[in-house]
Amino acid sequence: MSDTVALSDRSAPAVLTARNGVLGALSDLFWRKPKLLLFLMLLPPVLWLGIVYLGSLFALLLQSFFSIDEYSGMIKREFTLKTYGELLQPSNLDIIIRTVVMATLVTIASAIVAFPIAYYAARYARGKWKALFYLAIMLPLWSSYLVKVYAWKLILSKEGILNWALAKLHLTGLLEAWLALPIVGGNSLSVSSTGTFIVFVYVWLPFMILPIQASLERIPVSLIEASADLGASPGQSFWNVIFPLALPGVAAGSIFTFSLTLGDYIIPKIIGTSHLFIGQAVYAHQGTAGNIPLAAAFTVVPIVVMGLYLWMAKRMGAFDAI
């Protein structure tokens, strides 16, 4: 196609004269060879992401096959699976299991809290309310992550608003009973797994609401009317028609909540127990310990878990709902 343009250009200059100047010549060149323009447009972003991002990612993955010399603390640059073996030590395995369980619980809780908001926004909010709902979900999503964590530090502290409210409602005993439980409990909410869990749910909640809302909005009204015409009660319509169609949205949202919880190290550091999560382990091993191979091996865990998760989510149709 580009050749014929070039040919006619030469044989019939009266029809298509070449443009003047460097810019004009360039413009003509791009018109004749669109592939060249495409190549030039793609070159900067692909180079940037390829070199800066993929390059460092592969360098990191490569280092996970190195190991650290136990006596000198130096990194031995030869291929070994020893570092991956260390991941299976009980203490490290504990960290992985704790993080994955937390990510699962956070995902389930976010879905439960997010669904009514998304459902109301998609089915009942109209006009001005619709815009308001959208902003009400977008603002917490985009406002500062650290400020949100900080707000919860204020809320969960011993002298904070939550304890004050519980005291007013004479429910302090209930909280104390909960905090006395093993695993979920602790000295106060801000140093317990329960606190970590609440903050995770809070911070990632908007990531769950938006895809659910998108999938709910895509359900045609005629489907629900058909269901009602066939004699289904509103409850039956919901569970047999609406809910299954909203599941891809839930799966899409869960990708975010799951992935973000897996990689986070700041929330458990600020609000939580002294037990580590994967992110904290990575941070500790690369920082003070200088054990880059083990830190690299630890980062492979979320990559593999997310890979498996994405594969399952794709089978549930989550990618059509993002």
Partner 1 sequence: MRSDREASAPFGLKLAAAGGLLFLHVPILLIFVYAFTTEDKTYQWPPPGFTTQWLAVTWNRPDVWEALTTSVKVAAIATLIALVLGTLCAAAVSGSRFFGREVISLLIILPIALPGIITGISLRSAFSLMDIPFSTWTIVLGHATFCVVVVYNNAVARFRRTAGSLIEASYDLGADGFQTFRHVVLPNIGTALLAGGMLAFALSFDEVIVTTFTAGQQQTLPIWMLEELVRPRQRPVTNVVAMVVVLVTLFPIIAAYYLTREGDQVSGAGK
Of 65-73, 86-94, 173-181, 276-284, the window that binds partner 1 (rule: CB under 8 A) is 276-284
Instruction: Candidates 250, 262, 276, 313: give the one binding partner 1 (CB under 8 A).
Output: 262
Between 20 and 72, name the residue whose CB sits nearer to partner 1. 20
Options 7-15, 65-73, 77-85, 135-143: segment touching partner 1 (CB under 8 A): 135-143
**How large is the angle between the packed helices 292-315 and 90-123, nearest 10 degrees?**
40
Of these, 24, 97, 129, 226, which contacts partner 1 (CB under 8 A)?
A: 24
Question: 135 vs 180, which CB is nearer to partner 1?
Answer: 135
In this complex, which beta carbon is closest to partner 1, that of residue 23 or of residue 90? Answer: 23
Is there binding between residue 33 and partner 1 (CB under 8 A)? Answer: no
Contacting range for partner 1; rule: CB under 8 A; set: 76-84, 155-163, 169-177, 179-187: 155-163
| Conformation bin of residue 298: beta by default, left when phi > 0, alpha when psi is -120 to 50 | alpha
Q: Which tokens go with 38?
A: 């495409």
* 241 counts as binding partner 1 under rule CB under 8 A: no
Note whether 316 and 322 are within 8 A (CB).
no
Query: Of residues 42-71, which lie at the interface with partner 1 (CB under 8 A)?
Result: 42, 44-46, 48-50, 52-57, 59-60, 63
Q: Whose Cβ is closer to partner 1: residue 186's or residue 309's?
A: 309
**Position 211 contacts partner 1 (CB under 8 A):** no
HEC assignment per residue over the chain:
CHHHHHHHHHHCCCCCCCCCHHHHHHHHHHHHCHHHHHHHHHHHHHHHHHHHHHHHHHHHHHHCCCEECCCCCCEECCCCCHHHHHHCCHHHHHHHHHHHHHHHHHHHHHHHHHHHHHHHHHHCCCHHHHHHHHHHHHHHHHCCHHHHHHHHHHHHCCCCHHHHHHHHCCCHHHHHHHHCCCCCCCCCHHHCHHHHHHHHHHHHHHHHHHHHHHHHHCCCHHHHHHHHHCCCCHHHHHHHHHHHHHHHHHHHHHHHHHHHHHHCCHHHHHCCCCCCCHHHHHHHHHCCCCCHHHHHHHHHHHHHHHHHHHHHHHHCCHHHCC
Question: 282: which 2 tokens?
Answer: 């990575």
Q: Is 231 in the site for partner 1 (CB under 8 A)?
A: no
Site for partner 1, residues 84 to 123, rule: CB under 8 A: 113-114, 116-117, 119-123
Smallest distance from the beta carbon of 244 to partner 1, in angstroms? 15
Longest dimension (CA), the chain: 94
Contact between 13 and partner 1 (CB under 8 A)?
no
For residue 19, state whether it binds partner 1 (rule: CB under 8 A): yes
Which pair of structure tokens corresponds to residue 167? 């005291």
Q: Does 296 bind partner 1 (CB under 8 A)?
A: yes
* Sole binder of partner 1 in the list 2, 143, 172, 187 (CB under 8 A): 143
CB of 106 to partner 1, least distance (A): 14
Comparison of 172 and 183: residue with beta carbon closer to partner 1: 172
Q: Is 144 in the site for partner 1 (CB under 8 A)?
A: yes
Q: Which of 102, 106, 109, 260 binds partner 1 (CB under 8 A)?
A: 260
Q: Is 295 in the site for partner 1 (CB under 8 A)?
A: yes
Q: Is 154 in the site for partner 1 (CB under 8 A)?
A: yes
Minimal distance in Å, beta carbon 182 to partner 1?
Answer: 27
Q: How far is the CB of 4 from partner 1 (least distance, A)?
A: 17
